[in-house]
Amino acid sequence: MYEKIKEEIKQTYYQQNFSNDGQRFVAWYLRNIHLRDPNQAKYDITDGADDKQIDAIVVDDNSSAVYIIQGKFIGAASVDAEPLREVLSSWVQLKDLVKLQEGGNEKLKRRLVDVSKALEDEYEVVFELLTTANLTESALKDLKRFQEELAKNEELTASLNIVDNEELKRRYDLALERESPAINFTLELEPNKYVSMEVAGTHSITAAIPLKKCIKFPGIKDGTLFRKNVRQSLGLNNRVNKSIKSTIYSDRHRDFFFYHNGITAICNKMELDINTLNLNGFSVVNGCQSLNTILSCSERVKNLEDTYIMFRFYEIPQRDRAEKISISTNFQTAVKPRDLRSNDKRVLNLKRLFEQKYSQGYFITKRGEESPPSKDRKYVIDLVDLGKYLISWHSQRPNIAYSESKIFDKYFEQLFKREYKPENIQALNFWMQEIKKGWIPENPFGLNESLLAMKAYAPYHQLYAISQFFTIASNYPDRVPAPKVSYEQAKEKGIVDQLVNMAASCLNVAIEEAASEQSTSGKIFSPQNWVKTKSCLSKIKTSVRTQIQMLPNFPGGKELKESLIIPAEIFEYRWEAD
């Protein structure tokens, strides 16, 4: 991988934006593995003088995780424990954000504002040490000790992942796949520690698996092993996972088998040849939390003898049956409502209405689901995206759109309780398709660079701005227009492109004014923190109002303003989400 990466970081983007190969290596990892876009990667990099052993910070709102990254780009075959000590140093410093921010460089200071907000929202903290070499024996011993220290600490719970040359290659290969590939795996079972049977016409195997074999399962680190689970990792700091760690590090580890409820895994096909179990389409539907916790204690687990966990393997090729098993077996750690919304009757009703109205369309309700190739992509809507559109338009709270957990947990009743018209769903879909055309590297909207780095959630503020143009022009500042009527009117008047561009301009003005105010008062301005606050909404609204007031002074401006006026009966009060 070293030679491959060395060649790829010669590209213009890496050479122009980063000062040395160490930074370029971390940027390459962010682009290719974390799939950050060019602006996000630039924003994430903190490497430089006073970086406090932190080369990059990624705040992933979709997985509710903060990744603290340290990179070592070296051509040697092995690396000692020094990089591990740097990671440990950054973990120690992260416990005191105030002190860390005082001594850090400007890029780190700005990113720590985002980290603070994420920790308030109970995001998981994951340290990643990237290296193109392999750890020496002494370094592996230090890794074991560091993992144990992180696992036992209550002040800042975190996990440490080593992304060495082999893991780097595996992650890179996975990232190249358009869809999560099926996992095929061969597992050696111990004699007299498993039983094979057929239940209800289904091939089933129950086995005692050594913990040390569990850490060799593919797809734990990147989550592909759990693609059929109703949820991914919830971090390491909940009660159950703390208990698992405690048992692993105690002298009671041999009783692990009796303390734990076991792991449920399914596969499309499995074959048992004496003691060799061949699994095709292998997926864990219950045990994501446990396996992630076991992996976080990998160096300790490698040395545990006579320590087992119960596995149930089922041959279940039917997707619907597999999903039912996933839901039914996930109650030892409470399943939050957002994990199961795809089967909620209100969601299923929206899907039915939408697909009846638009036969060429498709309503995606399950994470990882793909629309059939025969469907028109312009009429495909994802449940997660719809939730973000609704809270941005009808609740007028795009600052919450970044959080799927809030949308599908705290605000689900407000957003999805109505018999919402499919025409409005598609209108929001059309608006967002127009908006997304501008959030590309060519930057046709001329967006501020800080906005481009927030591609994951700032476009919803642009959708909010569009709604505000109709609201303010029609003089109903406390109400929200129907998406269907607003889009159809804009299309009929030929102002869709113009309106989308004006909304982008309002975002630019709002963020630049906010940054200027913070700078004047001597405070650190964090764009990612700003877009998650209500204060950004007032700035956007003020910018929209100013543009509307100025329209009559420009050629065609009076006609444009009149095109934004919608009758009173088309408006309704916003849906509460505060």
Tens of pLDDT, residue by residue over 55-93, are 999 998 777 789 999 988 887 777 787 888 888 888 888
Say whether both 248 and 355 belong to one domain. Answer: no
pLDDT score at 231: 43
pLDDT score at 332: 47
241-245, 246-250, 362-366, 415-419: the lowest-pLDDT one: 415-419
For residue 192, is it within any domain? yes
Say whether both 108 and 228 belong to one domain. Answer: no
Say whether both 368 and 508 belong to one domain. Answer: yes
What φ, ψ does residue 459 adopt, rounded to 5°?
-60, -25
For residue 355, is it within any domain? yes
Cβ density class 247-280: b for 16+ within 10 Å, e for less: bbbeeebeebbeebebbbbbbbebeeeeeebebe
For residue 313, is it within any domain? yes
The domain boundary, picked from 299, 330, 361, lies at 330
The domain boundary, picked from 305, 330, 355, lies at 330
Instruction: Give the number of domains in the chain.
Output: 3
Say whether both 16 and 136 belong to one domain. Answer: yes
Tens of pLDDT, residue by residue over 262-282, are 899 888 889 999 999 999 888
Question: In whole angstroms, what is the distance from residue 116 CA to residue 279 CA?
Answer: 43
To 10 degrees, the CA torsion angle through 459, 461, 462, 466?
Answer: 140
Tens of pLDDT, residue by residue over 6-41, are 888 998 889 999 999 999 999 999 988 888 888 888
Question: In whole angstroms, what is the distance from residue 386 CA to residue 363 CA?
Answer: 10
pLDDT score at 368: 61
Instruction: State in Å, rounded, how far the first CA of the chain is from the last one.
Output: 48
Mean of pLDDT over the chain: 86
Alpha carbons within 13 A on the beta-carbon side of 16 = 5
Question: In whole angstroms, what is the distance from residue 349 CA to residue 366 CA?
Answer: 14
For residue 434, is it within any domain? yes
Beta bridge partners of 277: 187, 272
Say whether both 366 and 456 belong to one domain. Answer: yes
pLDDT score at 44: 93
Say whether both 111 and 20 belong to one domain. Answer: yes
Tens of pLDDT, residue by residue over 500-513, are 999 999 999 999 99
Say whether both 320 and 402 belong to one domain. Answer: no
Say whether both 164 and 41 belong to one domain. Answer: yes
Q: Is 329's pLDDT higher than 70?
A: no
The domain containing residue 259 runs over which residues?
Answer: 185-330
Say whether both 156 and 209 belong to one domain. Answer: no
Tens of pLDDT, residue by residue over 160-188, are 888 888 888 877 776 665 344 568 899 99
For residue 68, is it within any domain? yes
Q: Is 577's pLDDT higher than 70?
A: no
Tens of pLDDT, residue by residue over 387-407, are 999 999 999 999 999 888 888
For residue 578, is it within any domain? no
pLDDT score at 386: 94
pLDDT band for 493, please (50, 70, 90 cuts). Answer: very high
Say whether both 320 and 407 belong to one domain. Answer: no
Residues contacting 200, CB < 8 A, separation 6+? none
Q: What is the 3-state secondary structure (H, E, C) of 239-278?
A: HHHHHHHHHHCCCCHHHHHHHCCCEEEEECEEEEECCEEE
Q: What is the mean pLDDT of residues 429-436?
A: 96
Q: Is 358's pLDDT higher than 90?
A: yes
Say whether both 346 and 489 belong to one domain. Answer: yes
For residue 381, is it within any domain? yes
Tens of pLDDT, residue by residue over 450-471, are 898 888 889 999 999 999 999 9
The domain boundary, picked from 275, 310, 330, lies at 330
Q: Read off the DSSP letter of residue 179.
A: S
Q: What is the mean pLDDT of residues 323-351?
A: 63
Residue scoring higher pLDDT (100 or 235): 100
In this structure, are residues 539 and 517 in contact, taking their beta carbons and an 8 Å threshold?
A: no
For residue 377, is it within any domain? yes
Beta bridge partners of 70: 129
Say whether both 106 and 207 belong to one domain. Answer: no
Percent of the chain with pLDDT over 70: 90
Q: What is the mean pLDDT of residues 239-251?
A: 85
Tens of pLDDT, residue by residue over 333-343, are 444 445 567 77
Beta bridge partners of 284: 265
In order of 180, 207, 263, 312, the CA distances from 267 in angstroms are: 15, 15, 13, 11
